[in-house]
Structure 1
Amino acid sequence: MAQPPNLKRRSLPLSDWRSGLPEDLLESIGQRLASGHDAASFRSACSPWRAAVPFATFGPLLLLSFDPNSDRVGFYCVPEKKVLSKTLSDVRGKVACGSSCGWLVLMDEAASMTLLNPFAGARAPRVELPLAGKHVEAASSSEHVSRVHGRWVLHPTNDYGDTDAAGRAIELEDMRDLFFREIVLSAPPDATGRECMAMSMLGCSTEAAFCRVGVDSAWTLLDTKLEFSMGSIVHCQDKFLAIDCTGEISVCSSNAADATPTATLLPSLSPPTGLCHCSYLESNGELHIVGAMVSTFHETQSFTYSSVIYKCNIHDRTPEWSKVRDIGDQTLFVSKHFNESSSGTSVSKYKENKIYMSEPLYGDPYDLVHRLEIVDIATGASEVKPVQEKMQGSEALGWIRPNLWKL
C-alpha cells in the first residue's frame, strides 16, 4: 500500500481572538465575574476586555491591618464574606497612612512615602512621593527630632528642660503621629491627562502638606487657617477641604503652574447641631457629612443613636447643610481609621441607599469580634453584623476601591 505523502505543518499567523469577540458578549461575561480578582484577570487580556468592565461596577474592599515584617496583605470582601490575600513586597517595613483613588499610601521609618496600586497585576505599580523634610516634621509635632543614619530619632525633654542628646529611634507604628497622618489624592497618579495632587494631614497640626505627584521633589506647607488640628481631608470639586475636629472647613487649592497653595475658611458653614462621630465624603460633587444623633436616657443610664446624613454645595454663595433622606441608587462607604470615605452608584452586590461603616459607631473597643454596621438612610436604622471568621483579630483600616486599570 502506498504511503501517504508527508504533511508538513504550515506556520499560520495566529489571529487575536480576544479583540474579535462581540462587545455585547464581553459585557455579558463581565457582568458575571464573581470577584475583583476575576475582574483583574479579565481586564488584563486587552483593551476591549478592559472597556467591557466599568470601574464603578466593583465595590470597595476593607483593607485589613498587616504585619510590617510580612509581605501579605488581606482585603475583606463584604458581599462575598471572604478575605482576599495578596503578596505585596512593597508593604514590608511600611505602615499604611491612607487609601485614595484605589491606591495605598505607605510610609517607612525614614518617612519615605510610596503610592502602591495593589490590584493592577502581579507587579503592583508604585509611585514615590517626596521624602519628609525637617520642615514637615517641625509642622507635625512639637517634639524635638533629628535624622540619624536614615532614621528619625526622638529627643525628649525632661522636667528641667534638658534634651536627651542620644534620644531613641522612632518606631514604625509611631510615624503617623509625628509625620504624615493621612494622605489624600486628587486623582489616580496614572490618570492620563490629569495632574495628581497629594495633600496630607500632619500629626496634630493645623498645617497641611501639598505636592504634585511625579513633579515636586519636596512638600509645600500650607497654613489652613483652622483653629484646631485637622481631622479630615476631602477632595471635592477640584478642591481639597481641610476639616478640623470641630467641623470648621478650609478650602485649599494649589495653582498648577507654581504649586503655590492657598486656603480660605468657610466661617458660615458650621456642622449640624448635636451631630457627633462625623465622617466626611464627596458624592455627586457635594460634600456630605455622616454622623450620629444620640438620645440619652438618664433613668436607665442608657442611650440610643441614629445615623443621619447632611450635604451641602461648598461653592454656593451661602453654603448650608441640608438633611438627606434618600440617595437613590447611591451607596456610601465610611471608615473611622482612614478618614477618606467614598460613594458609588449601583455598586455591584451592595445595597442601595445604605451606608456601610467599617465598624460600629459605638461598641466595645476591646471586643475581638469584628463587626460591620449597615445603615438604612431612609429610616436611620442600623444593623450590626459580625464579619467572616478569617477577619477576626484583624483591624479594618479603611475602604479601598480596586483601581484595576490606568484611566
Structure 2
Amino acid sequence: MRRYLKTGSGSSADAAAQERVRTTVSAVIGDVRAHGDAAVRAYSEQFDGWSPDSFRLRPEEIDKIVSSLPAETIADLKAVQARVRRFAEHQRASLTDFEVETEPGVFLGQKNIPVAAVGAYVPGGRYPLTASAHMTVLTAKVAGVPHVTACTPPIRGEIPAATVAALTLAGADEIYLLGGTQAVAAMALGTESIRKVDLLAGPGNAYVAEAKRQLFGEVGIDLFAGPTEILVIADERADPLVVAVDLLSQAEHGPDSPAVLITTAEDLARRVIELVEEILPGMPTADFAGPAWRDHGEVVVVDDLDEAWALADEYAFEHVEILTAEPRVALERMRNYGALFLGDKTCVSYGDKVIGTNHTLPTRGAARYTGGLWVGKYLKTVTYQEVTEADASAALGRLCGRVSRVESFEGHARSGDLRAHLHGGDPAAWVPVR
C-alpha cells in the first residue's frame, strides 16, 4: 500500500504557460525561417540583450577565452572529457558493421554512418553548463560526425568562458554565442551565416525543448527533454542525510524539477522531510530548489521493495538512485529509467558532471520508450543487399511475384518475374519481345 507523506502541489498555470511557450516558439521559428540572420539578431537582442558584430567566435577569440581560465579548470575539463570519451568509445565499439551471406549468393549488410552535421545546444541560464558540452559535442565526435556547430548563450551579457573552453576541447567546429529558440531555429533551418544541420542535440529550457519538438521532422533530434527529475529508492539502511542532499542536488536545476523519494521506512521518510527543510534555507540555489521541492517534491512509503520497483517504473524518471542493501537488484527488477545510480558511493551528480556516462536523458515518462543521448543517436544504421548468384535471384523473383500479387502489387511482382525470367529462364508472358 502506498502512503504519501508529501505530495507536490503542482501548478494550475502549467497548461497556460505551455501554450504561451508554444505560441512564442512558433512565432520565432517562423520569423527565422522568413528573415534568417536579421530575425536571429533581433531575438537575441530582445531575449538576451546580446548583439555582437558576429555571433560566431573566431579561433583567436576562442584561444584568448580559453587562456583566461585557471590551469586547474582546463585540467579538470580535460579529466572529465577523458571519462566521457572513454565510455562513448566503448559504446561506439559495440555498434558493428556486418555482412552475412544468408543463403548462397545472397549478401545482406549493415553499416553505421554518422550524420553529416550536428547542432549542439549547450544551455546557459544563470550558470555555465560545461558538462553539456562534453555530452553533446564530444559524443558526436566519437561517433564520427564531421561537423558540429555549437551554440551557447551569453550569461548576463558575459561570455561563458568555461563553456567555450569545454566546447573547443570537445571538438566543436564552430561556436556561436547565441541562445534560446533563435539559436535552435538557426541551426535547424540555416541562415545566411549559420549552416543548416541534420540533427539537433542537447538540453535546454522549455522554449528550447518546444523548438526541438516543432522542428522535428525537418531535422532529427536527440530526444524530448523536460525538467530534470530525480527519484530515490531507499530502505531502512539508507542515510537520511544522503537522501535529502541528493534530492536537493537535482531540485536546484529549476523550480519545476521533480524530486521523489520512495521508501520502505516511514521513520527515514519523515527524517528526510525534516532535513530537506533544514538544509534548504542555507542553499545558494534555494530560489530554484525551494519551489521545486514545494511544488514537485513527493515522499511515498511502500510496504516492500517489490512495490517500490513497480512504483518507480510507473514514474519512469530520468535519474533513479538506489540506496538499498542490495542496489544491483534494481538492474533486474526495473525497466523504466534514464539512468540508474547504484549504492551510496555514487550519486546523480556524478552522472551529471564527472563519471563519464551521458547526462542528456529522457524525462516526463519518456523513459518508457527511449534511453538517453549516446553515440548511437548520431549514427544512421543502414542496410544494403546484393544478389550474386543467378539461381538465388530467380528463386527470390518467383517468391516476390507470388507474395506481391497477394497484395495486388503488380509492379512489384513484375520486378520479381523479370529476374526469374532473366536468371532462371522462367516464361513471362507480359515481357515485351526484345
- TM-score category of the 2 structures, normalised to the smaller one: under 0.3
Given the two structures, how large is their TM-score scaled by the length of structure 1? 0.24
Given the two structures, how large is their TM-score scaled by the length of structure 2? 0.23
Greater CA radius of gyration, 1 or 2? 2
Flag the structure with more relative contact order, 1 or 2, with Cα contacts below 8 A and sequence separation at least 6. 2
Whichever structure has more strand as a proportion of its residues is 1
Whichever structure has more helix as a proportion of its residues is 2
